């Protein structure tokens, strides 16, 4: 199982779109994929369930919020596996290929849970000396280590655009970090800041964990919403790519062009663009190529 956190400090960079389409395409190639929506905005969840479906199915339970609540409240919390759902419409597209796409839904209330988790590690300073430091940081990692999750080939964790306590649990649980970004000043500036925050977390966690250390690797930056000419990306885009490479951060060869439909608010069809029967063929090709490059980078056997 390869666990990948999809993360960027800057919002509006196509982070959720990349996670949803990567997950759907990998499942369509016959693999078992789990998506974990850790962003309180719940955009990933709403990519697979319409708003009225979400309100009906998940308002009273079955989300990451309710799992965290049980962890903080109960001596015997509910297993995280009880929150796993299989979005029906996308699975109709991948089932014939032998794949499966599952989801752990998010909830707006995760904003409040983050404050409760931070209280266990000394507040916003995340004190390594706190007695709850390792316990809180390992919550997601330990949950994903339970037997119900061992059959998944890839787990993609869609993080909120910040580095709060919930995001930190995602990083600790992950082997790899994927960074979607727009080719603009703020996005590329945030990449270096994110890299430094990741290094700080790894340093502090490993100081407390001893031999049970972590070392999540940055898979690379995926540039999204790219403006193209007949010769390829515009000059400004190429300059930002070069600037990012100077941070010693790998960059994915495949970029995703600007598409108002692809990067719009999540629709109600429940099927990402990469699997639609009448999509923009250029965008769909780029998404498929991105999935191939992604699988190659995480060394999943049989990437094609």
Q: So what's the pLDDT on residue 99?
A: 96
What are the boundaries of each domain within the chain? 2-297
* Rounded Cα distance, 221 and 181, in Å: 7
Q: Which two three-digit tokens encode residue 125?
A: 């300073």
Listed in sequence order, the residues at least 6 apart from 80 whose beta carbon sits closer than 8 Å to its beta carbon are 67, 104, 140, 143, 144, 146, 149
Q: So what's the pLDDT on residue 95?
A: 93
Per-residue confidence of the chain (304 residues) as pLDDT tens digits? Answer: 899 999 998 788 889 999 999 999 999 999 999 999 999 999 999 999 988 888 888 878 889 999 999 998 876 788 999 999 999 999 999 999 999 999 999 998 898 898 888 887 766 566 676 778 899 999 999 999 999 999 999 999 999 998 889 999 999 999 999 999 988 777 777 788 888 999 999 999 999 998 889 999 999 999 998 887 666 677 766 777 776 777 778 999 998 988 876 765 544 478 998 998 877 888 899 999 999 999 999 974 444 4
As beta bridge partners, residue 137 has: none
* Rounded Cα distance, 185 and 165, in Å: 26
118 touches 126 (CB < 8 A)? yes
Q: So what's the pLDDT on residue 200?
A: 93
Q: Which two three-digit tokens encode residue 144?
A: 């994903």
Q: So what's the pLDDT on residue 123?
A: 60
293 touches 252 (CB < 8 A)? yes
Q: So what's the pLDDT on residue 301?
A: 42
* Rounded Cα distance, 264 and 260, in Å: 6
Q: Which two three-digit tokens encode residue 84?
A: 């796993």
Burial of 77 (0-12, 13-18, 19+ CB in 10 A): middle
Domain 2-297 is in which class?
alpha beta
* Rounded Cα distance, 263 and 293, in Å: 21
Q: So what's the pLDDT on residue 54?
A: 84
Burial of 74 (0-12, 13-18, 19+ CB in 10 A): exposed
For the chain, give the secondary structure using H, E and C.
CEEEEECCCCCCCCHHHHHHHHHHHHHHCCCEEEEEEECCCCCCHHHCCCHHHHHHHHCCCCCHHHHHHHHHHCCCCCCHHHHCECCHHHHHHHHHHCCEEEEECCCCCHHHHHHHHHHCCCHHHCCCCCCCHHHHHCHHHHHHCCHHHCCCCEEEEEECCCCCHHHHHHHHHCCEEEEEEECCHHHHHHHHHHHHHHHHHHHHHHHHHCCCCCCCEEEEEEEECECEECCEECHHHHHHHHHHHCCCCCECCCCCECCCCCCCCCCCCCCCHHHCCCCCHHHHHHHHHHHHHHHHHCCCCCCC
Q: So what's the pLDDT on residue 142?
A: 94
* Rounded Cα distance, 278 and 6, in Å: 27
Burial of 4 (0-12, 13-18, 19+ CB in 10 A): buried
The length of the chain is 304
């Amino acid at each position: 199982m390869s666990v990948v956190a999809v993360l960027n400090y800057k919002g509006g960079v196509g982070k959720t779109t990349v996670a949803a389409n990567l997950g759907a395409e990998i499942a369509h190639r016959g693999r078992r994929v789990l998506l974990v929506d850790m962003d309180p905005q719940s955009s990933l969840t709403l990519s697979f369930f319409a708003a009225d479906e979400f309100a009906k199915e998940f308002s009273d339970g079955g989300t990451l919020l309710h799992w965290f609540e049980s962890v903080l409240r109960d001596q015997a919390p509910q297993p995280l596996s009880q929150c796993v759902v299989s979005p029906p419409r996308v699975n109709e597209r991948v089932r014939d290929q032998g794949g499966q796409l599952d989801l752990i839904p998010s909830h707006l209330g995760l904003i409040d849970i983050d404050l409760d988790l931070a209280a266990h590690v000394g507040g916003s300073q995340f004190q390594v000396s706190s007695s709850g430091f390792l316990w809180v940081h390992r919550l997601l990692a330990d949950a994903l280590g339970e037997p119900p999750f061992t059959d998944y080939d890839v787990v993609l964790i869609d993080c909120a655009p910040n580095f709060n306590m919930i995001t930190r649990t995602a990083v600790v649980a992950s082997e790899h970090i994927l960074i979607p970004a727009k080719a603009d000043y703020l996005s590329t500036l945030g990449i270096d800041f994110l890299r430094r925050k990741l290094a700080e977390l790894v340093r502090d966690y490993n100081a407390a964990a001893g031999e049970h250390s972590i070392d999540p690797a940055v898979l690379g930056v995926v540039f999204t919403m790219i403006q193209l000419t007949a010769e390829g990306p515009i000059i400004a885009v190429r300059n930002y790519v070069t600037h990012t490479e100077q941070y010693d951060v790998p960059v994915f060869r495949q970029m995703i062009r600007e598409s108002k439909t692809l990067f719009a608010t999540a629709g109600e069809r429940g099927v990402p663009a990469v699997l639609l029967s009448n999509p923009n063929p250029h965008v769909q090709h780029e998404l498929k190529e991105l999935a191939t490059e992604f699988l190659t980078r995480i060394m999943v056997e049989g990437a094609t």
